[in-house]
Amino acid sequence: MILLTVIARVADGLPLSASVQEEDQPGRDLQQYQSQAKQLCRKLSPQSPDHCTLEAGVMNFHYLIEEGICYLCLCEASFPKKIAFAYLKHLHNEFYDQYGGKVSRVTRPYSFIEFDTYIQKTKKTYVDSRARRNLGSINTELQDVQRIMVANIEEVLQRGESLSALDTKANNLSSLSKKYRSDAKYLNTRSTYAKVAAVAVFFITLIVYVRFWWL
Amino acid sequence: MSAPGSTNPSSSGSYSQSSTPNGGAAPPRQNGPAQTYPSMYASTGYYGPPPHQQSYPTIPAHSTSVPNKTSITNSAQSANYYENNHQQQHHVYSQQPFQQQQQHPPYATPGSYYGQQPYHGVPTTVQHPQQQQNPSLVPAPAVGPGAPLYPIVSYPSVPGSGQYGTLSPSQSTSTPGVMPIQMSAPLHQYNSSQPTSTPPVHPGYGGAPPSQMVPTVNGQGTTAHQHYDPSHQAPQSYDSYGRVTHSTGGPAADRPPSGTPSTSVHSSPGHHQGIYEIQIFKFQCLTLNVSPSFSLPYSGGETSSSTTGSASPLPNSYDSLEGGSYPDSMPPSNDMTNQAQSYSSYGYHTMQPAYRQGPASRSDSSPSHDLYGQPSYQQYSQPFPDLSQLSAALGGLSGVPELEVEALRPVNLLQERNLLPPRPLEAPEPNLSADLRKVNCSPQTFRCTLTSVPQTQALLNKARLPLGLLLHPFRDLQQLPVITSNTIVRCRSCRTYINPFVTFLDQRRWKCNLCYRVNDVPDEFMYNPVTRSYGEPHKRPEVQNATVEFIASSDYMLRPPQPAVYLFVLDVSHNAVEAGYLKYLCDSILENLDKLPGDTRTRIGFLTFDSTIHFYNLQEGLSQPQMLVVSDIDDVFIPSHDSLMVNLKESKELVKDLLTSLPAMFSQSRETHSALGPALQAAFKLMSPTGGRVTVFLTQLPTLGAGMLQSREDPNQRSSSKGVQHLGPATDFYKKLALDCSGQQIGVDLFLLSSQYADLTSLACMSKYSAGSIFYYPSFHHLHNPAQLEKFQRDLGRYLTRKIGFEAVMRIRCTKGLSIHTFHGNFFVRSTDLLSLANVNPDSAFAVQMSIEDSLADSSLACFQAALLYTSNKGKRRIRVHTLCLPVVNQLSDVYAGADVQAITCLLANMAIDRSISSSLSDARDALVNAVVDLVSAYKSNVSSLQQSGLVVPASMRLFPLYILALLKQRALRTGTSTRLDERVFAMCEFKTQPLQQLMRMVHPDLYRLDNMSDQGALHLNDTVVPQPPLLHLSAERVSRDGAFLMDCGNVFYLWIGKCCNEMFIRDVLGCPNYASIPPNMNHIPELETPLSERVRAFLDWLQDNRAFSSTIHVVRDDASAKSTFFLHLVEDRTDSASSYSEFLQHIQQQMSK
C-alpha cells in the first residue's frame, strides 16, 4: 500500500506535488509521516544517494532522485521495494514530461498539485495486485534492488542535528566559563579590596591610637 | 533605537538570549520572567552546564506563571531553539509517561491543525486536575543546586530587582498580561494529547534555506510553532501565543524533577481561569452581567495591576515618528515628546485650527500649516514628500473638520424629526492624517464601532458604547495585491504581518505597530518588484496596501493543499418530493457544474437520505451511476471507498446523468421519515480524508437515528408573556458533529426548506461550529410559493459559484493594550484567539468585542490586523491580511465624534442575540433599551454643556435610538407578534453572520419614492443616469397614496404602489394599463423602453450592485395582503405590540429620569 507520495525539488526542498492516500483505516494517523516526509525533502541534497529506502517503524520511505527532483513515497514495510521504485520511476517519467522544464522556475509550494490526479491513478495500478501482473516489465527492468541503501529515517533526519546540538552546548559552555571567569575575577578583586581595606583600617586605627593616646 | 532594545543585547547576551529581544518590544509581562531567571542563575553562579538545566529544580515552582521556560532556552545562544528544546524534552520525559501530555503541547497544536481535538471545553476540565496532580505524583527531591535559589524567585518582585541591570522598569511583570497565558494552558494541554502529532524536527540551523526563517507549519495560525524559529533570535519570537505554549511547555520541562508542592498552588488559579475563559469562547457567550445592560467589556478588576509598559519603548516610537527621521539624526527636542504634543500634532485637536481656517492661536509647537503630513507622519511623507504634502493640504481643505464638529453637534431627538441623511449612511472616516487615511482598510472589510479608540477602559466605560470590530474578511474584492515572496515579513515577537502602518526606522529596520518591537528588514524585502528598484522597502506593495494577499510558503501547510471537494446531502423523503426542490436544485447544479470553483482535482459526490441512506457510485468508466443503499442507520458505514467522491472532470458525464435522473428517482417515494443524523455521519466519514464542503438540503424535522429531534414549538405560546423558549439546541449531536467536521476541515452548509417547524435551533449548530452558512426558506413549495422558489434559485446560483476557501484559520491581532474577548459569527475558536474555519465564504462576516486592558496613552494610533490563512480552490495556500488603523483619543467628546452608529448597532445586535440565548429574550431587549438610556445619560452628564431638557445625543449617534427601536422590531428580537421559532432563530443566525451593510438594510430598510425622481444629484455611470432619490423615514406618514415607494430590505425589495399612483408610472414602469390591472404576485420589473422605466431599473441595478445575493423584488399593491409585510417594516410606526418611535423616545426619557 502506498500511503503518501511527495514530489519535491532537491535544491531547496520545495514541494512540487503530493498525493495522500485516503484512509480506509481511520485510526492511522499520517500526520507524523507527512511531517517526516517534509523534513526529509529539506534534508536531501544533490549529494544524497539517489535511490534510498528509509525505515520508519512499520513504514518505509522510498525515494528516488532524478534530474534534481525527488520522488518520495511512504509504503507499509511489507510492500515490495521493487514495485515501489518502479512506481517512482513511472511517476518521474510522466512528471518530467509534463512539468520538467518548469521545475526550476517555480517558487510557490505545490505548484503542480494537479499532478495529484495522475499520481492517484498510477498508484492504483501499482497497488492493485492484479493490475501489477501487467507490469511485467518491472521485474526485469529493476536491477539490484538489493543494493539500494537502507537507512533509518531518524538517523537521516537527525544527522547534523546532534552536531549542532553539540555545538550549542559547547557554545554555552564557553560562554558560561567566560562568565564564570569574569565573576571570579570580580569576586577576587572584591575580596582583595576587602583585605586591603581591612588592613588600612587597622593601620589607621593604630596610627590614630598611637598619635592620640601614646603621645 | 529604544534604550532597552539596544542595551539588552550586550548586557544580557551572555546570560540568556531570550531576554535580549524582549527588551525593546515584547510585551512587558513576558519580559520580566524571561529575564529573571537568567539573571538569577548568573547571580548565584549556579548556572550549570546545559545538560543539567533541564532538571533544574527550582523553576517549576513558578513555572505556571513564568511563560518562558527559561531554564532550557536561555542557554540557547544561537541555537535553534526548537531542536534544543525538543531533544532535551524527549530525553527527559521519555521515562515519565504521564508527562507526555504536557511535554508536547507546542508541537501538538500544529498537529491538531488538522483537527485532533474535537471538543475543547469539556475535556479541558478533565485534563486540568490531572495536570495539577502531576507535581504531587512525582516525589519531590530537593535537588541541590536549585534549592538555595528557591526563595529568591518570588515571582512579582524579581523582575523589578533586575540585579544585572537588564531590566528596565517598563519590563516588570504585569499580572494581567500573564493571565491569558494561563488561561489557554489547559486548552493546549488537551490539544497535546496526541503525542504522535509531533511535527518534524526542523532542520538544524545550518542548512536552512531562507524560506525557513519562519518554519512554522502554520505560522500565522498555529501559534505553537512560532517560537521554533531557527534563526538567530529564536527565543524572542514568543508572542502571546508562543507564550501560551511555553507556559505549558514550561511546566512540562521543569516540573518533574522538583515537584515542589508550590507548583500546584501557583498553577491552580491560572488554570481555573483558563477553563472559565475557554468556556466563554466555546459558547461565544456574552460576558454575563447580572444587570440587564450589556456588560461593556471587562471592568478593570482583573486588569487592575500596574501597566508599567510605559517607560521606554512606546514614547520613543513616536519620537521617531514625529522626528520623522532616523534615530541618529533625531533632534533632541523630540525626546520630550509627551502625550499632549503628539495629540496636538496629529489628533483631533489639530483639526480645529484647520476648521477655523485661520492662524489660530496654538499653544504648542507643532507647525499649524502642516497639519497632517509633517508633524506626525514624516515617515510617510519622506519617500514622496510632494505628494504627501499635497494630500495633506487637500486633507485640510476637504471639510473633515466640519464633519467632526457636525458629528458632535448636540441633537435633541424630541425636537428634530428629520434625522435621516439624504443618502444611506456611510461609515465615518477615522480622524487620521491624509496619508494614513489613503491606505487604510476599506470600511466594508473592517470596521470599528469607535473610529476614535478611547485611551483607557475608564474612558470607554464612561462613553457607554461597546468597543468592537466588524469584519468581512473574505469579501469579494475588485482588486487585491497578491504577493509572492519567499519570506513573508512579520514581526518576530507578535507575528504581525508587515503593513502600511509600521514605521521604518531606517532602511534596515522596521518597528511593529502592534507590539512596537523593532525588526530587521530582510534582504529580499529591500527589492521592490513593482518598481523593480532596490532599497525602497517602504514602497513595497505590503506597505502600500492595507489589504494584501500573500502566497504562503510550505511552512504554512501541514499537508498538501486539499482539492476542492463538494458533497451534496439531499433529503428525498416524501416531504421533500412534495416541496419539489429537487428538480430545481439539480438543474441549478447542472447549470453551474462548470462554474464550481476548483481545478482539475475538484471532487464531487452525492448522498441522499430518507429513512435510509443512498450513496452513488460515480466511478469513471461506469455506464451509469449506481445507487448503493445503506439501511443500517444505527451504524453507518461507507459501502465503497474510492468511487463515491469522484473527480469531477473525469466523471462529469456520470454526474450529469445522475443529476438529470435524480428528481424522477424518488417521485414515488412514500417514505416520510428523515434520517438526517446518520446521513451526516456518513457524510463526515466520506469527507474526513480530504475535508471540503458538505451541503445539506433538508425539508423536515429529522425523525430517525442519531440526532433525531422533536417538535418543541407550541404555536399557542408564541405570543405568551412567558417569553420565547427553546432558543438553545435540544441535543448536542449536531454541535459535536460540527466540531468533528471542523477538525477534519469539513464545513457544513444547511439549506432548510421546511414548511413545518424543523428545530433550526438545533440544526443550526452543525453550520455554526463548522463555519458553514445557513439558508432558510420557510414554507417552500415549488408551485405555491414562487417567491421562495425564485429566491432559492438565485441563492443557489450564487452559492454554487461563489469563491470558497478551504482549511482556513483566522487570527485577529490588535495593538498592545487592547484585547479581544468575544467573537461572533460561524467558526470554532481553537485557541484563545484562533478562529478555525473549515470553509470560508465571501458572504459571511464576523464581529468581535474588545476591551482595553492597558492604557493606550503611549500611542496615538491603534491598529487591528486580521489575517486569514486559507487554501484557495486552486490548491494555493494564501494569506489575506487586512489592517485597520485608528486614532486613539483621550477626550470623551472625541470618542463620541468618532462613534460609528451602524457598527455599534450591529455589535449590540450580536450581543443581544447571545444574551437572549444565554439568558432570555426580554433580558436582551432590556439591555438594548438600556444601551440607549446609558448613552443619553452618559452624554448628558459628561459632554453636553447645554442644560436643555429632552433627549440630547451627539449628531454622530442621532440614529442610534431609531436603529435600536428597529432592532427591537426585528424578527429575531421582537415579541408579541406571532413569530415562528424557526424564523426567529434564522434571523438570529443572520445577525451573526451577515456583513454590516446587509444587516443594516435588514434592520432599517431604505425607503425611496420612485414616481417623482429627479435628476438632481444623479450619478452618471457608463452612459446610464442613476437617479438618487432621498431616503425617507420609515413611517406611514411618509408614504402617500399617490406615489410609488421602493423599500430596500437587503435581500428583498418591496415596490409599493399607492392606490392613486400616477398612471403614467404604472404604465411606463410596470407595463400595466392601470392600477387595477397590476397582478397580485408580480416579482419582476419588465424591461420597458420608456425613460422612466430605464431610470427605475438603473436605480435598482445600482442598488443591487456589489450585493452578493441578488435581491428579489415584490410589487405590492395597496390592497394586497402583502401590504402588511410592507408596513411591518415601517419601524417608526406603532404596531400591535411595539411602540412607535416617539413613544420609544418617551420611554427612554422616563427611564432616564428614574
Q: What is the pLDDT of residues A131-143, one digit of tens each?
A: 666 555 555 555 5
B-chain residues near A17 (CB < 8 A)? 560
Let me know whether B621 and B681 are in one domain. Answer: yes
The span from the CA of B1025 to the CA of B1014, in Å, is 11
Least confidently predicted of B13-17, B448-452, B713-717, B997-1001: B13-17
Q: Ranked by mean pLDDT, which of A19-28, A184-193, B940-949 comes out on top? A: A184-193
Let me know whether B854 and B909 are in one domain. Answer: no
Sign for the pseudo-dihedral over CA of B734, B735, B740, B741? positive
Partner-chain contact A12 B601, CB within 8 Å? no
The three grid cell numbers given for residue B401, joined into one nine-digit string: 473638520
**ipTM surpassing 0.90:** no
Query: Cell numbers 532599497 correspond to what residue?
Result: B535
Tell me the average pLDDT of chain A: 83
Asked if residue B248 is part of any domain, the answer here is no
Please report, for the domain that includes residue B610, its CATH number. Answer: 3.40.50.410
Tell me the pLDDT tens digit for each residue of B652-671: 999 999 999 999 999 888 88
B-chain residues near A127 (CB < 8 A)? none
Please report, for the domain that includes residue B500, its CATH number. Answer: 2.60.40.1670
The span from the CA of B1093 to the CA of B1088, in Å, is 6
Q: How high is the pLDDT of residue A134?
A: 58
- Could you tell me which of A102, A124, A126, A120 has the C-alpha nearest to residue A16? A102
Query: Cell numbers 534544543 correspond to what residue?
Result: B84
Q: How high is the pLDDT of residue B364?
A: 39
Asked if residue B273 is part of any domain, the answer here is no
Closest CB from A108, A161, A171 relative to B204:
A161
Tell me the pLDDT tens digit for each residue of B46-93: 333 333 333 333 333 333 333 333 333 333 333 333 333 343 333 333
Closest CB from B203, B642, B649 relative to A39:
B203
Partner-chain contact A109 B559, CB within 8 Å? no
| Residue from B53, B201, B565 to probe the interface with A (highest A Cβ count within 10 Å) | B201
Let me know whether B920 and B1018 are in one domain. Answer: no
Tell me the average pLDDT of chain B: 70
Let me know whether B813 and B756 are in one domain. Answer: no
Let me know whether B1016 and B1122 are in one domain. Answer: yes
Partner-chain contact B75 A172, CB within 8 Å? yes
Partner-chain contact B200 A20, CB within 8 Å? no
Q: Ranked by mean pLDDT, which of A24-38, B53-67, B796-810 comes out on top? A: B796-810
B-chain residues near A109 (CB < 8 A)? 552-554, 557, 877
A with B: how many residue pairs have Cβ under 8 Å apart? 153
The three grid cell numbers given for residue A165, joined into one nine-digit string: 546540538
Q: Are B569 and B607 in contact (CB under 8 A)?
A: yes
Asked if residue B142 is part of any domain, the answer here is no
* Percent of chain A scoring above 70 in pLDDT: 86
Confidence of residue B604 (pLDDT cuts 50, 70, 90): very high
Let me know whether B679 and B616 are in one domain. Answer: yes
Q: How high is the pLDDT of residue A127?
A: 81
| Residue from B54, B81, B83 to probe the interface with A (highest A Cβ count within 10 Å) | B83
- C-alpha B396: how far from chain center: 33
Q: Are B297 and B306 in contact (CB under 8 A)?
A: no
| Residue from B74, B212, B524, B554 to probe the interface with A (highest A Cβ count within 10 Å) | B554
State which of B802, B833, B864 marks the end of a domain: B802
Let me know whether B798 and B911 are in one domain. Answer: no
Q: Are B481 and B548 in contact (CB under 8 A)?
A: yes
Asked if residue B440 is part of any domain, the answer here is no
Nearest residue of A to residue B689, measured between CA atoms: A22
Asked if residue B1033 is part of any domain, the answer here is yes
Helix B339-346 to helix B373-381 angle, to the nearest 10 degrees? 80
Asked if residue B911 is part of any domain, the answer here is yes
Given a cut of 80, is residue A147 above it in pLDDT? no
> Any idea what the Cα angle at residue B886 is, between residues B881 and B892, rounded to 5°?
150
Per-residue pLDDT, averaged over B807-836, amounts to 91
Distances (CA, A) of B843 to B99, B373, B472, B582, B837: 44, 37, 8, 24, 13
Q: How high is the pLDDT of residue B1135?
A: 81
Q: How many domains is chain B built from?
A: 4
Q: How high is the pLDDT of residue A131?
A: 60
Q: How high is the pLDDT of residue A139?
A: 55
Confidence of residue B188 (pLDDT cuts 50, 70, 90): very low
Closest CB from B196, B211, B689 relative to A22:
B689
Tell me the pLDDT tens digit for each residue of B515-544: 999 999 888 888 887 777 887 888 888 899
The three grid cell numbers given for residue B140, joined into one nine-digit string: 519531590
Tell me the pLDDT tens digit for each residue of B458-473: 999 999 999 999 999 9
The number of C-alpha atoms within 13 Å of B204 and in the hemisphere containing its C-beta is 17
Q: What string of H, E and C letters represents the secondary structure of B612-657?
A: CEEEEECCCCCCCCEEEEECCCCCCCCCCCCCCCEECCCCHHHHHH
Confidence of residue B291 (pLDDT cuts 50, 70, 90): very low
A-chain residues near B199 (CB < 8 A)? 31-32, 35
Q: What phi-psi label fits residue B324: left (phi over 0), alpha (psi between -120 and 50 degrees) or beta? A: left
Let me know whether B581 and B679 are in one domain. Answer: yes
Q: How far is B40 from chain A (nearest CA, A)?
A: 13
Given a cut of 60, is residue B1133 above it in pLDDT? yes
Nearest residue of A to residue B639, measured between CA atoms: A24
Asked if residue B240 is part of any domain, the answer here is no
Q: What phi-psi label fits residue B813: left (phi over 0), alpha (psi between -120 and 50 degrees) or beta? A: beta
Given a cut of 60, is residue B335 above it in pLDDT? no
**Phi and psi torsions of B527, nearest 5°:** -95, 130
Q: How far is B960 from chain A (nearest CA, A)?
A: 49
3-state percent breakdown (helix, strand, coil) of chain B, nearest 5: 40, 15, 45
Asked if residue B540 is part of any domain, the answer here is yes
Partner-chain contact B560 A169, CB within 8 Å? no
Q: Are B1100 and B1053 in contact (CB under 8 A)?
A: yes
Tell me the pLDDT tens digit for each residue of B92-116: 333 333 333 343 433 333 333 333 3
Mapped onto helix, strand or coil, the DSSP state of residue B672 is coil
Partner-chain contact A114 B75, CB within 8 Å? no
Closest CB from B197, B204, B601 relative to A117:
B601
Let me know whether B764 and B631 are in one domain. Answer: yes
The span from the CA of A64 to the CA of A70, in Å, is 6
Nearest residue of B to residue A14, measured between CA atoms: B554
B-chain residues near A32 (CB < 8 A)? 196-199
The number of C-alpha atoms within 13 Å of A189 and in the hemisphere containing its C-beta is 6
A-chain residues near B222 (CB < 8 A)? none
Tell me the pLDDT tens digit for each residue of B560-594: 899 999 999 999 999 999 999 999 999 999 999 99
Helix B373-381 to helix B385-397 angle, to the nearest 10 degrees? 140
Q: How high is the pLDDT of residue B583?
A: 93
Domain that holds residue B1089: 1005-1130
Nearest residue of A to residue B875, measured between CA atoms: A113
Given a cut of 70, is residue A214 above it in pLDDT? yes
Q: How far is A206 from chain B (nearest CA, A)?
A: 37
State which of B1004, B1038, B1055 marks the end of a domain: B1004
Partner-chain contact B111 A31, CB within 8 Å? yes
Partner-chain contact B201 A172, CB within 8 Å? no
Q: How high is the pLDDT of residue B432?
A: 87
Q: How high is the pLDDT of residue B402?
A: 52
Q: Are B66 and B33 in contact (CB under 8 A)?
A: yes
Least confidently predicted of A97-111, B373-387, B608-622: B373-387
Sign for the pseudo-dihedral over CA of B734, B739, B742, B743? negative
Let me know whether B777 and B648 are in one domain. Answer: yes
Partner-chain contact B563 A35, CB within 8 Å? no
B-chain residues near A168 (CB < 8 A)? 50, 75-80, 84
Nearest residue of A to residue B485, measured between CA atoms: A107
> Amino acid letter at B221?
G
| Residue from A35, A48, A59, A122 to probe the interface with B (highest B Cβ count within 10 Å) | A35
Let me know whether B674 and B749 are in one domain. Answer: yes
* DSSP for B50-63, written as a single string: HHHHTT--STHHHH
Q: Which residues pair with B1113 in a beta bridge?
A: B1053
Nearest residue of A to residue B47, measured between CA atoms: A176
Let me know whether B782 and B680 are in one domain. Answer: yes
Partner-chain contact A43 B203, CB within 8 Å? yes
